[in-house]
Structures are given as C-alpha cells and as structure tokens.
Amino acid sequence: MRVLELAPQVFASGQLFEADLKLAAKQGVRSIVNNRFDGESPGQPPSADLARVAEELGMTYVHFPVEPKSIDEETARSFETVCDGLERPLIVFSRSGARSTRIWEKAESIYDQ
C-alpha cells in the first residue's frame, strides 16, 4: 500500500483491499474514506465488503463516491464536512489516489478562503 501525506495524519492511497485495511489498522489508522463508485473496474472489492472488514477492525469507513471529472465546490464542501468529523489517522482512497488528492485539495482551498 502506497500513501501520500495530504495533511497531518491524512493520507491518500490508490485502491485498498482487505489486506490493506488490516495493515492500516495495525498502523493505527482510525478512518477510511472510499471515493470510488462500486463497479468501476474488474476486481474492485465492493464498498460494503470493505466497510464490513473496517468495522471488524475497529475503523470507521465512509463510502463517499466522487465522479473524477466533476469535483465541484458543493461536493468538496460535503467531503470536507464528512472528513472533518472522522478520527485520525485517516486514509482517503480512489483508483490511483489522484481523485482523492484532488477532492482533498479542493476542499482545503475552499476552507482557506
């Protein structure tokens, strides 16, 4: 699992799988946000399966799918509100991590205004 630090105790990652959630839990991660729609690509685990595993591991899991080409201000504000209420460390993920990075940066830019 490769992660990019976006902010203190906030990380972006590409697609996570059950083994990644187990590793993240061992490393103290408390919350996971999935920015992918179910069924985007073959082999992608369903969000409900990841949510079940995260819950078993004591982590909070949020499914917040985002259309990669249309991250608007309203979506970024909603995302920021969701993330603001989550315990850290937090991992946000998408297919490659780029979508999660973009929405985090958009939310930060709105917050900084």
State the DSSP H helix or E strand holding residue 7, giving kind and residue range, or none if neither: strand 3-7
Q: Is the pLDDT confidence value at 112 over 70? A: no
Cα–Cα distance for residue pair 93/16, rounded to 1 Å: 7
pLDDT tens track for 56-93: 999 999 999 999 888 999 999 999 999 999 999 999 99
Q: Is the pLDDT confidence value at 113 over 80? A: no
Q: Domains of the chain by range and CATH?
A: 3-111 (3.90.190.10)
Rounded average pLDDT over 101-107: 96
Cα–Cα distance for residue pair 104/10, rounded to 1 Å: 10
